[in-house]
Amino acid sequence: MDILQIVLVGIIASILYIVLKDINSSMAFFLIIVTGIIIFLSIIEQVAIIFNLIETLGRNANVSGLYMETILKIIGIAYIAELGASLTKEAGLSAVAKNIELAGKIFIILLAVPIITAVIEAIISFLPT
């Protein structure tokens, strides 16, 4: 599915949502969830290509596999948290959405600590003693 098809699916789902939300709000919300899943499944292949490219770049740059894996996990957490927060905002649960965003940020910081530590150690090693 190319970007035009994805945008078209999104626009059609949005129009249907606007029509359905007054008639049957739970069905309208279900439509949004299904649309999100369809769009996500349509881009999975491209995401895999991007991940493979990042891994290849990391190998070519002699970056530790641990760091590349951590970066990919951080990217995944960011997108998953954003998706979950968006869905809960759409359901009218902005407090839950903010908690999902906070949890995503906490997990990202936890994963980033080893990378930050390695960068600080590298900087310290360049400083004269």
- What is the tens place of the pLDDT at every residue in 45-95? 888 888 888 888 878 877 777 788 888 889 889 989 998 898 888 878 999
CA distance 73 to 3: 25
Percent of the chain with pLDDT over 70: 98
Q: Average of pLDDT values for 19-26?
A: 89
The full set of domain ranges for the chain reads 1-45, 63-129
- Of residues 10 and 57, more confidence is placed in 10
**Mean pLDDT to the nearest integer, 27-43:** 88
Q: How many CA atoms lie within 13 A of 116 on its CB side?
A: 6
pLDDT over threshold 70, residue 129: no
What confidence score (pLDDT) does residue 91 get? 79
In 44-64, which positions are buried (b, 16+ CB within 10 angstroms) versus exposed (e)?
Answer: eeeeeeeeeeebeebeeeeee
Res 55: pLDDT = 81
**What was the pLDDT predicted at 96?**
93
Check pLDDT > 70 for residue 126. Answer: yes
